[in-house]
Structure 1
Amino acid sequence: MKKINFGNDKNIISNSLKRIRSERKLTQGELAARMQTLGVNLDQQMISKIEKNTRIVTDYELICFCQALGVGVNEMLRDFYDKLKG
Structure 2
Amino acid sequence: MKKIEFNENKNIISKRLRYFRKELGLTQTELAARMQTYDINIDQQMISRIENNRRIVTDYELACLCQVLRINENDMLRDFHLQFPNEP
Q: Give the counterpart letter for 1:35 in structure 2.
A: M
- Give SS of 2:39's match: coil
Aligned length: 85
Q: CA deviation at 1:79?
A: 1.5
Moved over 6 A (4+): none
1:1-86 correspondence to structure 2 within 5 Å: 1-85=1-85
Gaps of 5+ in 1: none
Q: Give the counterpart letter for 2:52 in structure 1.
A: K
The structure richer in helix per residue is 1
* Distance across 2 between alignment mates of 1:79 and 1:23: 17
- TM-score between both structures, scaled by the size of structure 2: 0.92
Greater Rg by CA: 2
Q: CA deviation at 1:84?
A: 2.4
Q: What fraction of aligned residue pairs are identical, expressed as a percent? A: 61
* Distance across 1 between alignment mates of 2:17 and 2:29: 14
Gaps of 5+ in 2: none
- RMSD (Å) for aligned C-alpha atoms: 0.9
Q: Could you give the per-residue CA deviations for residues 37-62 of structure 1, whole angstroms, max 9, x where no partner exists?
A: 00100000000000000000000000
